[in-house]
């Protein structure tokens, strides 16, 4: 389903412009599923599980401009499954960005209003069961042990690419929120012997909250895969200095990062996750958080479709 392996590319102009560490990018924005993104790796495992259970409908939840919801709808379409998306809040006056793609992909969209998303998603799934359907609930962000396994495999993919090109990364930096990507990468790193630092730039949770989430998810993934090691919250590097105005609020940090990377390298970032995380990375470089000569990989998790949902905040 996903187009793998995704490209591993240097960022030479940006490296020279910043005068800091050597920058590279892992292009999971090019996984190929409805404009790409990291959820394609998780959905390869989650959809396989859904099909093994003979599900006929995928149900998931997210924000109005959810990248995860868009890719879940695309995965369902690809495998002939119905798709119901439970989105936070009320229907906006304009259908644009990811929400437009959800509609084009044939998703049924339910608005949760004031109901918490997990509760609203459970209600929809139960409604479908009562109607005789076989729903498969894809967790928020695709972040459970099954979905996180996609990023255990992604670490194996990265290390194979590094071996082919005689590369080593001292740091991997990525956006982190629901936790499946960072937890999966760290499980893969532990299993495969990668000793560099994996730094999650938090997009919305506070660091301590996210570290505990990551540790729990990593341990569940270890159990799921039958591996023999443990994790604690302190094993995870998380920076929550860049939360700005809150989840999905595009500020100057995100605007500068999106413009800087686009104009230096021709690479588009998303406004919610990768824009915020790369903005944090730019600030860390300028503050000397990385030593000259170190090699830093930014893991691009996608989200560029969201640019078209916030044009007025970016133009």
Mean per-residue pLDDT for 30-54?
98
Across 9-41, b (16+ Cβ under 10 Å) vs e yields eebeebbeebebbbbbbbbbbbbebbbbbbbbb
- What are the pLDDT digits (tens) for 56-111? 999 999 999 999 999 999 999 999 999 999 999 999 999 999 999 999 999 999 99
Q: Quick check: 273 pLDDT over 80?
A: yes
**CA 60, CA 102: separation in Å to the nearest integer?**
12
Give the single-character DSSP code of 236: S
Sign of CA dihedral 299, 107, 77, 310: negative
Please give the CATH architecture assigned to the domain spanning 39-142: 3-Layer(aba) Sandwich (3.40)
Pairing type for strands 57-62 and 135-137 reads parallel
Q: What is the pLDDT of residue 251?
A: 95
Residue in 66, 176, 177, 202 annotated catalytic: 66
- Burial environment of residue 92 by CB neighbours within 10 A (0 to 12, 13 to 18, 19 or more): middle
- What are the pLDDT digits (tens) for 104-155? 999 999 999 999 999 999 999 999 999 999 999 999 999 999 999 999 999 9
Give DSSP secondary structure letters for 243-298: -TTSTT---HHHHHHHHHHHHHHS-PPPTTTHHHHHHHHHHHHHTT-S-TT-EEEE
Q: What is the pLDDT of residue 270?
A: 97
Q: Output the CA–CA distances (angstroms, integers) from residue 27 to 70, 113, 294, 298, in the order listed.
A: 18, 35, 20, 9
Q: What is the pLDDT of residue 262?
A: 98
- What are the pLDDT digits (tens) for 161-210? 999 999 999 999 999 999 999 999 999 999 999 999 999 999 999 999 99
User: Lowest-pLDDT range, 7-16, 175-184, 243-252?
Assistant: 243-252
> What are the backbone dihedrals phi and psi of residue 232, each rounded to the nearest 5 degrees, phi first?
-130, 160
Q: How many Cα atoms sit within 13 Å of 309 on the Cβ side? A: 25
Residues of the chain with CATH 3.40.50.1100: 8-37+144-314, 39-142
Percent of the chain with pLDDT over 70: 100
Q: What is the pLDDT of residue 313?
A: 85
* Residue 250 in tokens: 């595009």
Q: Quick check: 292 pLDDT over 90?
A: no
Q: Catalytic annotation on 66?
A: yes
Top-level class of domain 8-37+144-314: alpha beta
Percent of the chain with pLDDT over 90: 97
* Residue 60 in tokens: 């998931």
Q: What is the pLDDT of residue 315?
A: 77
């Amino acid at each position: 389903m996903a187009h793998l392996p995704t490209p591993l590319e240097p960022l030479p102009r940006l490296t020279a412009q910043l005068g800091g560490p050597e920058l590279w990018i892992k292009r999971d924005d090019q996984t190929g599923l409805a404009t790409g993104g990291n959820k394609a790796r998780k959905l390869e495992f989650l959809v396989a599980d859904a099909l093994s259970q003979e599900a006929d409908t995928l149900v998931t939840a997210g924000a109005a401009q959810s990248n995860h919801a868009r890719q879940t709808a695309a995965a369902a379409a690809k495998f002939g499954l119905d798709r119901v998306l439970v989105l936070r809040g009320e229907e906006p006056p304009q259908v644009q960005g990811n929400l437009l793609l959800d509609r084009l992909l044939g998703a049924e969209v339910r608005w949760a209003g004031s109901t918490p998303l997990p509760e609203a998603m459970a209600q929809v799934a139960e409604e479908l069961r009562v109607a005789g359907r076989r729903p498969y609930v894809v967790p928020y962000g695709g972040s459970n042990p099954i979905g996180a396994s996609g990023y255990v495999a992604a670490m194996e993919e990265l290390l194979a690419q590094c071996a082919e090109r005689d590369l080593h990364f001292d740091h991997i930096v990525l956006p982190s929120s629901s936790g499946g990507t960072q937890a999966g990468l760290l499980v893969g790193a532990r299993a495969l012997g990668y000793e560099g630092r994996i730094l999650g730039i938090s997009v919305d949770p506070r660091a301590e909250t996210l570290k505990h989430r990551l540790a729990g998810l990593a341990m569940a993934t270890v159990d799921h895969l039958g591996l023999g090691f443990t994790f604690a919250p302190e094993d995870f590097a998380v920076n929550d200095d860049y939360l700005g105005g809150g989840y999905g609020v595009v500020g100057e940090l995100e605007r500068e990062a999106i413009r800087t990377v686009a104009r230096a390298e021709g690479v588009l970032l998303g406004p919610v996750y990768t824009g915020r995380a790369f903005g944090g990375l730019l600030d860390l470089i300028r503050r000397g958080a990385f030593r000259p000569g170190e090699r830093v990989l930014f893991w691009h998790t996608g989200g560029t479709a969201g640019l078209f949902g916030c044009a007025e905040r970016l133009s």
